[in-house]
């Protein structure tokens, strides 16, 4: 049995970052950048109005008061997307829309709310400073600036920025493919009639969803009974994927054949059993370029070990930087640990008087899937700690 950090180190040492491919930016959402993106030009490329109003010379407004407005002659209208050749001089103004280029001679914009238009004149009721209500050249992005870094996740804002930079296509990492196999005579396909002493295969659906959230491409290969020959054949099918997840049949028992079948399929097992609770019966192996994870059959163990072991591997394949979001909270009730293994305690966050309270799930059993539905995250109890007392400050790792 090895510690979690050692297990993760072994896994990541076997990961190779996947190749890049070029895609249209309209198809780039939730992909991982495979290149640094620099700006080829300033954004905006010109000084522009940040408001609807009137472009003026700020000095003209220096003596303006609400009860003593300034009257200026309006010499042009300037909508966004157009320019004017007229040069602004003292006593003049240009009616301007948001986003329109600032006319030559103007150095500020008076908001339309602070004006009153009268035919070809405008009354100004508020003085402005140079640069007020103006968006200057390069205010958003400067030419040559590193705007998006390799390894970044492309969210809606990044898609918009790529478009603003004029990038029609972008280099992203290819998505890993992930095969999911459920094992066990006790499993029934969802949709079939549930027989006595059987349960529905929930793990493959939960894992499928977790894989998708990581940005990989999952495929469920079905349920395999506790028959070694059938297991070997299905495992060999899964070895054509980037990652193979085996759910169930990895603990010590007469019917737990997965590890044995995996080895007979040519997989080199690099570790078996991790010092965590829940989720100790977990193994990891390799075959050529495929990573193989044997996950426990209990749903909570399966999902948490995916978070702690599989997800970092998929992120590494994508070259994606992992960010674990944590929230500080105070423990609502004491939790105990038997020691020697790192414990992951499911909790719900409750906001009280400006602080978060971490409420442990009523049941911490590995087979209680409802606790994962109920929980907002989990707290980690290190191996050397036997108890965290009520009221102590804890860090809650949020679940996606």
Say what the pLDDT of residue 196 is: 87
Contact predicate 136/108, CB 8 Å: no
Tokens of 260: 């044995």
183 and 310, same domain (yes or no): yes
Distances from the Cα of 66 to the Cα of 61, 80, 188, 284, angstroms: 11, 29, 78, 75
Tell me if 18 sits within 8 A of 56, measured CB to CB.
Answer: no
**CB distance 248 to 203 below 8 Å:** yes
**Global pTM?**
0.90
3 state SS of 4:
helix
In this prediction, residue 291 carries a pLDDT of: 99
Last residue of a domain, one of 173, 199, 225: 173
Same domain membership, residue 252 and residue 221: yes
What is the C-alpha separation between 231 and 246, in angstroms, rounded?
10
Shared-domain flag, residues 197 and 88: no
For residues 282 and 304, state if they share a domain: yes
The residue range of the domain holding 377 is 326-398
Nearest to 258 by CA among 181, 190, 337: 181
Given 260, 290, 318, the domain boundary residue is 318
DSSP track, 267-327: -EEEEE-BSEES--S-EEEEETTEEEEEE-SSHHHHHHHIIIIIHHHHHHHHTPPP---EE
Cβ atoms 178, 245 nearer than 8 A: yes
pLDDT at 255: 42
pLDDT tens digit sequence for 176-197: 999 999 998 899 999 999 988 8
The pair of three-digit structure tokens given for residue 372, joined into one six-digit string: 């994962």
| Same-domain pairing of 218 and 78 | no
Instruction: Kindly state whether residues 130 and 227 are assigned to the same domain.
Output: no
Q: At what angle do helices 4-13 and 311-318 cross, to 10 degrees?
A: 30
Token pair for 216: 């990989």
Q: Phi/psi zone of residue 279: left (φ > 0), alpha (ψ -120 to 50 degrees), beta?
A: left
Omega cis (within 30) before 163:
no
Q: What is the DSSP string of 321-382?
A: PP---EEEEEESS-EE--SSSEEEEEEEEEEETTEEEEEE-S---TT-THHHHH-SEEEEE-
Same domain for 35 and 165, yes or no, is: yes
Alpha-carbon Rg of the chain, whole angstroms? Answer: 31
Count of domains in the chain? Answer: 4
What residue ranges of the chain have pLDDT lower than 70?
Answer: 250-256
Going 200 to 204 to 206 to 212, the CA torsion angle's sign is negative
Same structural domain, 164 and 211: no
Q: Give me the long-range contacts of 13-16 (CB less than 8 A, separation at least 24).
A: 14/270, 14/286, 14/291, 15/291, 15/313, 15/316, 15/317, 16/289, 16/317
- The CATH number covering residue 169 comes to 3.90.105.10
* C-alpha torsion 362→367→370→375, nearest 10: 60
84: domain CATH number is: 2.170.190.11
Q: What is the CATH number of the domain that holds 351?
A: 2.40.340.10
Give the whole-angstrom CA distance, residue 267 versus residue 99.
61
Verify that 167 and 219 share a domain, yes or no.
no
Q: Let me know whether 222 and 249 are in one domain.
A: yes
Question: Among residues 135, 155, 187, which one ends one of the domains?
Answer: 135
- What is the structure's pLDDT at 256? 65
Tell me: do 125 and 192 sit in the same domain.
Answer: no
Q: Are residues 284 and 297 in the same domain?
A: yes
CATH number at residue 299: 3.40.980.10
What is the rounded distance in angstroms from the CA atom of residue 383 to the CA atom of residue 285? 25
């Amino acid at each position: 049995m090895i510690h979690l950090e050692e297990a993760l180190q072994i896994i990541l040492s076997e990961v190779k970052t996947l190749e890049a491919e070029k895609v249209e930016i309209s198809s780039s959402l939730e992909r991982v950048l495979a290149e640094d993106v620099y700006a080829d030009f300033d954004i905006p490329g010109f000084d522009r109005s940040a408001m609807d109003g009137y472009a003026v010379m700020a000095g003209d407004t220096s003596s303006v008061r609400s009860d003593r407005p300034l009257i200026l002659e309006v010499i042009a209208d300037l909508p966004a997307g157009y320019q004017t050749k007229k040069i602004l001089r003292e006593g003049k103004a240009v009616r301007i829309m948001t986003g329109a280029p600032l006319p030559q001679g103007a150095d500020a914009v008076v908001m339309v709310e602070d004006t009153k238009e009268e035919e070809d004149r405008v009354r100004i009721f508020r003085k402005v400073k140079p640069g007020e209500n103006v968006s200057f050249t390069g205010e958003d992005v400067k030419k040559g600036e590193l705007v998006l870094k390799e390894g970044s996740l492309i969210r809606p804002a990044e898609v918009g920025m790529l478009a603003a930079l004029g990038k029609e296509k972008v280099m992203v990492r290819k998505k890993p493919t992930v095969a999911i196999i459920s094992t066990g005579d006790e499993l029934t396909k969802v949709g079939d009639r549930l027989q006595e002493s059987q349960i529905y295969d929930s793990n493959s659906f939960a894992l499928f969803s977790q894989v998708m959230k990581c940005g990989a491409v999952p495929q469920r290969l079905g349920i395999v009974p506790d028959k070694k020959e059938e297991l070997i054949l299905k495992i060999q099918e899964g070895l054509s994927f980037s990652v193979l997840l085996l759910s169930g049949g990895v603990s010590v028992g007469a019917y737990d054949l997965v590890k044995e079948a995996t080895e007979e399929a040519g997989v080199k097992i690099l570790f078996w059993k991790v010092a965590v609770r829940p989720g100790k019966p977990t193994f990891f192996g390799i075959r050529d370029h495929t990573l193989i994870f044997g996950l426990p059959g209990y749903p909570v163990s399966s999902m948490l070990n995916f978070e702690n072991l599989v997800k970092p591997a998929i992120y590494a394949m994508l070259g994606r930087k992992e960010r674990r979001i944590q929230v500080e909270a105070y423990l609502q009730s004491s939790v105990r640990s038997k020691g020697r293994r790192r414990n992951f305690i499911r909790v719900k966050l409750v906001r009280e008087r400006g602080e978060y309270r971490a409420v442990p799930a009523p049941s911490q059993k590995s087979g209680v899937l409802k606790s994962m539905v109920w929980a907002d995250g989990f707290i980690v109890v290190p191996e050397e700690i036997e108890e965290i007392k009520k009221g102590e400050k804890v860090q809650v790792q949020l679940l996606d």
